[in-house]
A and B are shown apart, each in its own frame.
Chain A
């Protein structure tokens, strides 16, 4: 709280106000509130002051911004009244000042995230319509091409048009990526190796004016992430840095283990507390103004001239990180460069790392639990059988649906069907699953899917992988998914 003279000078200030604004008591008493008030709030504040002095108001409350001594903005809730003498002459103001910066930041984040959500829906919708148009063109062109096979020139034209369609589909993929609807192929990835690899690639491609260094400690946690999409994300960030450093400069790629705790999560939207591997790209370029920083992640937001930037780079990176269960932040000040932090969730990938996670809560197989593995690839089937056997499950293998059904009819119980989606002999995985369920309603089903672009089940995002194992998968993933499926309650 503070006492303020009629002219606006601080006459008396308490310690908590000093701490809030970064000044010592002595220093604060040298200045007027006008000097440290954000210019956009000054007029309103002075208006209220006049209202008090002229008796139109006895008291006012307003939300306003002060500048901290070290720069940066402090949002406060200010409550002011005027102390008058017995004769009614104004003596000084009495101000209560409460720091509401955190709340303001959260509100701002909320607005921004609602906007991004809306943009995501919009972009997803456009991508959908656009893909439908491309679908018509692609099918027809394919057929036209077959008819013109004897005309080499026409064949070439058709070929180029088909290529253009693929480029179009790639563009819509970027839009879907922002809308968090791309199909990801997460794998256990050694982030350190991936980041160093990217650094040397960038050194070769970004030219001599940019100095690229890395800082990668040993002992990084395991993550499970789509490596190609992560490389692509780093490339996008590096290109942004390059564009921001026309005079040259340096880029640092770093990785570290980070725990986001309850406190952090309370201050950021859409993040879960937990262990993350943080990958950071820092440059010494021109930096971003607060206005640019606020909008940088929006799709199609660019400050680059027409034809130079589509404004999709950061949006894609954000979409990818979010869809991967991660989190992204950007720090920047004009002239000071930019720092982008990608938080990628730690995975329970390696058995040795699986300590306190939910993995342990999943009980081992009950004695005699039987898994029926249906997979036409002999090697894969053999592998799955062996792993499950080692774990203590009883197992039977079948190479196709009809064989599996025969086995089912003679087995006295089957607890889990683990089946490929695309199977030979006229019965695919889902159909087999339906038949198995109708004969053994208690049996659980887990699919394995290796369909190209992983379209078998649409969205391949982590939250959707409950009963689908995406090929190729590791032993740990198989084990984990099998156990998880076994303990899930039956769908009703």
Chain B
């Protein structure tokens, strides 16, 4: 249902278990999935694969998710960027807004239900009729 065989999704998350779970979910829905565990790796994977969607964790050791979002957004204005976060993180103001300012399309709090993400992707990717 709603499978999009051609859509490439890149997951950038330092937690391998979460990355695997997310890949299985997306593959089962027909997406082609790539994964990276650090920001720099994510940026080069994005260049290599030309993914349509990037799912990126905001808090990863050694990288600022917000910066990675900015870099990817500079490379493409069409890519759908979904930031994920287990907390609105450590600075008081929260990372949600910085993430969106940097170019993310939306910020999804962890944990979330698989269907929530799938629905969101379908809304964002719905082709113009």
- Interface of A toward B, CB cutoff 8 Å: 121, 124-125, 127-132, 134-140, 142-143, 165, 169, 176, 179-181, 402, 421-422, 424-428, 430-431, 434-435, 451-453, 455-459, 461, 463-464
Contact = CB atoms under 8 A, between A and B. Distances in A.
Contacts of A139: 18, 21-22, 24-25, 111, 114
A129 B95 CA distance: 16
Interface string B93-127: 11111011001111111111111100010011111
22 contacts: A127-B87, A128-B59, A128-B89, A132-B86, A135-B86, A135-B111, A136-B21, A138-B113, A139-B24, A139-B111, A142-B115, A422-B123, A425-B128, A426-B125, A435-B77, A456-B100, A457-B97, A458-B88, A458-B95, A458-B107, A461-B94, A463-B93
Contacts of A125: 87, 90
B92 interface: yes
A180 B94 CA distance: 10
Nearest to B19: A136
| Chain A binding surface, main DSSP class | helix
Contacts of B104: 430
A127 B92 contact: no
Contacts of A130: 86
A180 B109 contact: no
Given A457-B107, A464-B97, A136 B88 contact: no
Interface string B10-42: 000001011001101100100000000000000
Nearest to A458: B96
A458 B94 contact: yes
B87 A426 contact: no
Most chain A beta-carbon contacts within 10 A, residue among B99, B106, B113? B106
Contacts of A179: 87
Given A139-B22, A427-B128, A464-B97, 19 more contacts: A121-B90, A124-B90, A131-B87, A131-B110, A132-B18, A134-B110, A138-B112, A179-B87, A181-B87, A424-B126, A425-B128, A426-B124, A428-B80, A455-B107, A456-B96, A458-B85, A459-B93, A459-B94, A459-B97
Contacts of B110: 131-132, 134-135
A140 B113 CA distance: 10
Most chain A beta-carbon contacts within 10 A, residue among B21, B78, B107, B126? B21
Ranked nearest first, the 5 interchain pairs of A and B with the lowest CB-CB distance are A458-B96, A459-B94, A128-B87, A131-B86, A135-B111
B62 interface: no
A82 B35 CA distance: 79
Contacts, number: 138
A295 to B, nearest CB: 23
A430 B91 CA distance: 23
B17 A136 contact: yes
B61 interface: no
B66 to A, nearest CB: 11
B129 interface: yes
A463 B124 CA distance: 28
Contacts of B17: 136
A128 B126 contact: no
Contact of A453 (B85, B109, B115, B129): B109
Contacts of A169: 111
B97 A131 contact: no
A455 B96 contact: yes
Contacts of A431: 77-78, 105
A459 B93 CA distance: 7
Contacts of A459: 88, 93-94, 96-97
Contact of A455 (B80, B108, B114, B123): B108
A458 B97 contact: yes
A180 B15 contact: no
A114 to B, nearest CB: 14
A176 B111 CA distance: 14
B114 to A, nearest CB: 5
Contacts of A422: 106, 120, 123
A131 B90 CA distance: 14
Contacts of B129: 425
B75 to A, nearest CB: 13
A124 B94 CA distance: 11
Nearest to B101: A491
Contacts of B124: 426, 428
A125 B86 CA distance: 9
Contact of B114 (A131, A134, A143): A143
A469 to B, nearest CB: 14
Contacts of A461: 94
A358 to B, nearest CB: 21
Contacts of B99: 458
Given A134-B111, A425-B129, A461-B94, A451 B106 contact: yes
Given A455-B96, A464-B97, A128 B114 contact: no
A428 B109 contact: no
A138 to B, nearest CB: 4
A165 B100 CA distance: 28
Contact of A142 (B93, B103, B114): B114
